[in-house]
Amino acid sequence: MNTNDSWFTPPYIINLAREVLGHIDVDPASNVIAQNWIQADTFYTEETNGLTKDWNGKVWVNPPYSASLIKKFTKKFLEEYENGNMKEGIMLTNSSTDSLWNIPLQQGLQAYTNGRISFLQPDLTEKGKGSRGQLFTYLGPNPDKFIEVFTRDNFCWVPNLNMFL
């Protein structure tokens, strides 16, 4: 794992995800520390490799950001939804609209942050803001709820929002 792979999601974002999903069944790219606030029913670590497991139910994923791993996790996110394992899911990535891994995600509903997220380090201090803004991709039956929650207080914006209203 390289330094691009350990960006802990702040609890307030997990609260937004939980508000949309109800609860989190699976977090396929996690660790024991992050589970203190993510509290997924099932989580996979680098050692247990979520890429080799089914993602059943409601899924939250903040994948590793290194080029080789993000491609695999974004592909798996779509596959798990398309094959019916994942009923609903939210993925947090950088807003790399031109990246080959992001283009297939555009079939989901995407919300872009206004600004950058301050991620956490393993000791729970702020790691700092990434080099670009972030993107949440939603797949599931509740797009209106996702839009309502993630655009609240101008946190994110959704391209072509009028298409969904």
Decide if 66 contacts 2 (C-beta within 8 A).
yes
pLDDT in tens, 110-150: 999 998 888 887 777 777 666 678 999 999 999 999 999 99
Determine the Cα–Cα distance for residues 106 and 132; give it in Å rounded to an integer: 18
Q: Average pLDDT of 24-53?
A: 95
What pTM was estimated for this model as a whole? 0.92
The proportion of the chain whose per-residue pLDDT surpasses 90, expressed as a percent, equals 65
pLDDT of 96: 84
The structure tokens 């949309």 sit at 20
Contacts (Cβ under 8 Å, ≥6 apart) of 101 = 70, 71, 74, 75, 93
pLDDT more than 70, % of the chain? 90
Helix 11-21 × helix 143-150 angle, to 10°: 150
Q: What is the pLDDT of residue 2?
A: 45
Higher pLDDT, 124 or 99: 99
The band of 103, judged by pLDDT with boundaries at 50, 70 and 90, is: confident
- Contacts (Cβ under 8 Å, ≥6 apart) of 48: none
Residue 152 has pLDDT above 90, yes or no: yes
Which pLDDT score is estimated for 62? 95
